[in-house]
Structure 1
Amino acid sequence: MTEIIVIVAVAKNNAIGKDNDIPWHIKEDFEHFKEKTSGFPCIMGDKTYESLPDNAKPLPGRENIVLTFDKNYKPKGTTVFNDFYEAIEYVKKKGVEKAFIIGGATIYKLGMKVADIFELTRIYHDYDADTFYPEINFDEWELINQEDHEGMDIKNKFNVKFSFLTYKRKK
């Protein structure tokens, strides 16, 4: 059975984006994302796909599944769906071990309803943002792993504390 996993980095104030970009650049978090998602399908909205750097479009070593309402949108090297639940059914029918939901905010909101695992990088700093993570009902989730770290936010030039938190949906 395919495990559906939401993976996201969220600031203390629930910020996830600013001007269609990530407000921080923490090398360890990018490495964590790559390590977790490599080899598995990644489901994302069209804005998230377009926000990827050109040299990472499509994300290498992963099937890039892009959701859009635009029937003519078909970026090279991607699988496109116009319906979130059809994309979920697609990965389940493929029989892959895992599939990751990687954003943006609207896709995360839908993803939290169907996810089995929630991979949260919690960054203990408030960031200026225009996109925020939807409210998380932690009553639905059990923390099964926590790794605390400190690293350099290269974009903003300061050290920041963060944790890799893995939650499993309560039965």
Structure 2
Amino acid sequence: MIGVEWAQSANGVIGRDGALPWHLPEDLKHFRELTSGATVIMGRRTWESLPPRFRPLPGRRNLVLSRTPQEGVETFPDLPQALAAVSGDVWVMGGAAVYRAALPFADRIVVTEIRELFDGDTYAPDVGRPPDSVGDWQESSTGLHYRFLTWDRGQRPG
């Protein structure tokens, strides 16, 4: 299974200045549960944005897409080569260009939708309308409102 996962604000923002513009602990917990034991693929800038104490992400095989080898992690020049090196479940975790490249391969898309608006410089790819079954809005311990959306192959365009 190839999945892509991200969190986005109501206006489609997924990042600002190389970081998440919000703090949503429930999304981080959801991400850990979703990707635990799987392979995660990310672009170089996403890798560099991770706090050093979390590099590589524990409990997962970490692959980074970069034209230059990255210290301390398996590096591949492009997404098809990285995917060819993986057996088992894989989750693509950013950034925006990597998401766009991965969507044609994805069996599942999981989006944490945040009801609030945020300013940013990086936007989620358009995956069409929400799936038929949409969870209720939940309130984060930080006061933000969020819900998890999941598209499985066949529920979305493309």
Q: Normalising by the residue count of structure 2, what TM-score does the alignment of the two structures yield?
A: 0.91
2:76 is aligned to 81
Distance across 2 between alignment mates of 1:144 and 1:75: 42
1:162 aligns with one of 121, 146, 151 = 146
Query: After the TM superposition, which residues 81-160 of structure 1 pair with which residues of structure 2 at under 5 Å, given as runs?
Result: 81-91=76-86, 94=87, 96=88, 98-138=89-129, 142-143=131-132, 146=135, 148-153=137-142, 159-160=143-144
Cα deviation for residue 136 of structure 1 reads 1.9
Match of 1:156 in 2: none
The match for 1:10 among 8, 11, 16 is: 8
Q: Distance in 2 between matches of 1:69 and 1:126?
A: 34
Deviation at 1:147, TM superposition (A): 5.2
Specify whether residues 143 and 88 from structure 1 end up closer, same or farther in structure 2 by C-alpha distance, changes over 3 A only: farther
Deviations 1:44-63 (A, max 9, x none): 00000000011111101101
SS state of the match for residue 35, structure 1?
helix
Distance 2:19 2:101 in 1: 20
Aligned-residue RMSD, C-alpha:
1.6
TM-score (norm 1): 0.85
- For 1:50 and 1:137, the matched residues in 2 are separated by 30
Give the CA deviation at 1:145: 6.0
**Post-superposition shift, 1:87?**
1.0
The alpha-carbon deviation at position 112 of structure 1 amounts to 1.2
Cα pair 1:146 1:166 within 8 Å, conserved: no
Distance 1:120 1:49 in 2: 20
| Greater share of strand | 1
Instruction: Give the gaps of 5 or more residues in structure 2.
Output: none
Q: 1:74 deviation in Å?
A: 2.2
Give the 3 Å change call, closer, same or farther, for CA 5–144 of structure 1 in structure 2: farther
Residue of structure 2 equivalent to 1:20: 18
Aligned-pair identity (%): 35
1:143 and 1:167 in contact (8 A); partners too: no
The number of residue pairs the alignment matches comes to: 155
